[in-house]
Structure 1
Amino acid sequence: MQVFYDKQSFSNYIIRQKKENKIIGFAPTMGALHAGHISLYQEARQENDIVVSSIFVNPTQFNNLEDLEKYPRTVEDDIKKLETSKLVDAVYIPKVEDIYPNGMKKKHYDFGGIENEMEGAARPGHFDGVGTVVEELFLQVEPDNAYFGEKDFQQLKIIEKLVDILNLNIKIHGVKIHREESGLAMSSRNMRLSDTEKKASSVIYKTLKKVNDWFRVVSIPEIKKRVEEIFQQNEMKLEYFLIADEGTLKEVDFFSKDKSYRAFIVVNVGKVRLIDNMHLE
C-alpha cells in the first residue's frame, strides 16, 4: 500500500493508473477508522482494479469548533489498519492547502432542498462543506466508483446529487450500516463514549427495530410519541426522531403504499452526538 502526503505525488500516481486504464474505487474518510470503514473497502475491492482511501478531517463541515477540535485523529493507527486489511492500494492524506489552495472557503450548492432537511436544519451549511471537500477529492482521485456508508444516509443522497450537478461519470455505492455487537452503529465518535455510555447507547438500535415493527401498523404520530417516551426514561437526550420519504428526505406524517421510508434518529449521549437510521420494511 502506497501512502501519499501531498497533492503532486498523489496526482502522479493517479495519472499512471489512468494511463493503464485501471478502474478506480474510492472511499474518503475523516480517519479514526473502524470496521465500518473497512466494509467500504471490502465492497470496493470486488469491483475495481485499484482501491484508494483518503484521510482528511474537513474543517468546513463542522458547525461546532469544539467538535472539530475533539474529532479523533489517529493517522498512524489508521494506516496500520488499512495495511492490515490488504484491501487498499493507496491512501491519500492531504494537507489543508491541498484541498483548499485559496483558503478555507466552502462552495454553495443547490441540492434541490434535501440539504435543508434533518442534519441540514440542525447544522446550517454542513452539506456545503461536505460538497466542497468531496468535489475536490473526486477531481483529484478521478474514481470510477465511490463508496459511502448508509449511516450518513442524507450525506449519501447529497453526494448522489453532487455527481448529477457536476455531471461526473462516477457511480455512487451505498454500503449497509456496520454495527457493534450491541447494535450501536459504528462511528468514529464512539471512541469518545465511556463504557457505560456505549452500553446505554444500544437503546438507539433497539428503538429503531421497534419502529420497524410498528411501521404501517401504528400511526406515525403514535410512533413518535412512543420513541419520545423511550428516551424520557433514560439520561440520553433525543435531539430528533422522524420518518422520511427516502427519495425526498422530507418528513412524513402518514404512509403511502408506493413509497419507501426510513426512520432517522439523533441522540446526544453526554457530549457525543450519535446518528442512526433504518430502512422500514
Structure 2
Amino acid sequence: MNKVERVSSLRAAVSAARKERKTIGFVPTMGNLHEGHLELVRQAKQRAEFVVVSIFVNPTQFGANEDLDNYPATPEEDARSLAELGADLLFLPELTTMYPSALEEQTVVYVPKIGDLYCGKDRPEHFYGVTTVVSRLFNMVQPDIAVFGKKDYQQLTIIRRMVEDLAYPIQVVGVDTIRADDGLALSSRNGYLTAAELRAAPLLAKILNEMAVRMQDKGAIPSKKWLREIESEAKAELLSKGFSPQYITVCRQSDLQPAKRGDTKLVVLAAAQLGKARLIDNLEVELTES
C-alpha cells in the first residue's frame, strides 16, 4: 500500500490505475479505525479494483467545545490494518492541502433542509464541514464509487443528495452498521465511555429495536400522535438510565422528514449523550401498506 500526502501524487496514482481500466473506490475516514471502518474498505474492494482510503481529522465539522483537540489518533495501527486488508493507496492530506484559504474564508458546500435537521440542529457547524470536506475529497480523488457507513444515517443521506445535486459521477454505497456483540454501534467515540457506561450504552440500540417491533406489530403508523408517544417513551427510558437524549425520531428514509400515516420506508434516528460520549444510532424499518 502506498501512502501519499500531496494531491499531485494522489492524482498520479489514480490516473495510473485508470489507464489500467481499474474502477476507483474511495473510503473517507478520520482515522482511529475500528471494525466498522474496515468493513467499508472490504466493501469498497468488492466493488472496485483500486481502493483509496483517506485519513483527515476535519476541523470544520467540529463545533465549539467539541473534541477536535482530543479526537483519538492511531496512525500506525490504521496504516497496518489498511495494508493487511489490501487497500491500494492511503491519502494523508495536511490541513493546508484540504483548506488552502483561512477556514473562515473557505468556500462552503452545504445541503439545505436535510442538513438543518437533527444533528444539524444540535451542531449547526457540523454538516457544513462534512459536505465541504467530502466535496473537496471527491474532487481530489475522483472516484467511481464512494463507501460510507449507515451509522450516521443523516450524513449518508446528505452526501447522496449532494452527489445528486452537484452531478458528481459517483455511486454512493451505504454499508450496514457494524455492532459489538451487545448491539452497541461501533464508533471511535466509544473510547470515551467508562466501563459502567459501556455496559449501559447498548440500551440505545435496544430501544430502537423495541420501537421498530412496536411499529411492525401495528403493520403501519396508526397516527402521528401514537408515533410521538413512542418517541417520548423512548426518551424517558434513556433519561431514567443516565442518558441525555438529544433526539429520537421516526423519519422517512428518503428525505428524513418526520414520518406520518401512510409512510412505509422509515428510519428511527437517535442521538444521546452518555458521559463524555455523544452516541448516534439508527434503525431502518419497513412497514406494510396502510
Question: TM tier, shorter chain?
Answer: over 0.9
CA distance in 2, matches of 1:279, 1:200: 22
C-alpha contact 1:36 1:186 (8 A) present in aligned 2: yes
CA distance in 2, matches of 1:220, 1:151: 22
Give matches, 1:36-75, under 5 Å: 36-75=36-75
Q: Does 1:244 align with 2:244?
A: no
Give matches, 1:1-281, under 5 Å: 1-86=1-86, 88-105=87-104, 106-109=106-109, 111-215=111-215, 217=218, 219-252=226-259, 254-257=260-263, 259-281=264-286
Please, what TM-score do these two structures have when normalized by structure 1? Answer: 0.94
C-alpha contact 2:111 2:131 (8 A) present in aligned 1: no
Deviation at 1:62, TM superposition (A): 0.7
Unaligned 5+ runs, structure 2: none
Q: Deviations over 1:168-222 (max 9, x none)?
A: 1100001001101110101111111122211110101111110111115372122
- Match of 2:265, as an amino acid? S
RMSD over aligned Cα atoms:
1.6
CA distance in 1, matches of 2:58, 2:240: 36
CA distance in 1, matches of 2:203, 2:71: 24
C-alpha contact 2:110 2:127 (8 A) present in aligned 1: no
Deviation at 1:110, TM superposition (A): 5.1
C-alpha contact 1:27 1:40 (8 A) present in aligned 2: yes
SS in 2 for 1:70: coil
- Match of 1:166, as an amino acid? L
* Equivalenced residues, count: 278
CA distance in 1, matches of 2:12, 2:194: 43
CA distance in 1, matches of 2:193, 2:182: 14
Detail structure 1 runs of 4+ shifted over 4 Å in the superposition: none
Q: Deviations over 1:33-75 (max 9, x none)?
A: 0000011111111111101100000000111344111211111
- Match of 1:245, as an amino acid? R
CA distance in 1, matches of 2:244, 2:118: 16
Q: Deviations over 1:1-37 (max 9, x none)?
A: 1111222322221222222222100010000100000
C-alpha contact 1:238 1:266 (8 A) present in aligned 2: yes
Deviation at 1:99, TM superposition (A): 0.8
CA distance in 2, matches of 1:109, 1:97: 18
- Match of 2:97, as an amino acid? D
Residue range with higher mean Cα deviation, 6-15 or 174-183: 6-15
CA distance in 2, matches of 1:209, 1:194: 24
Counterparts in 2 of 1:208 and 1:187: CA distance versus 1, 3 Å: same
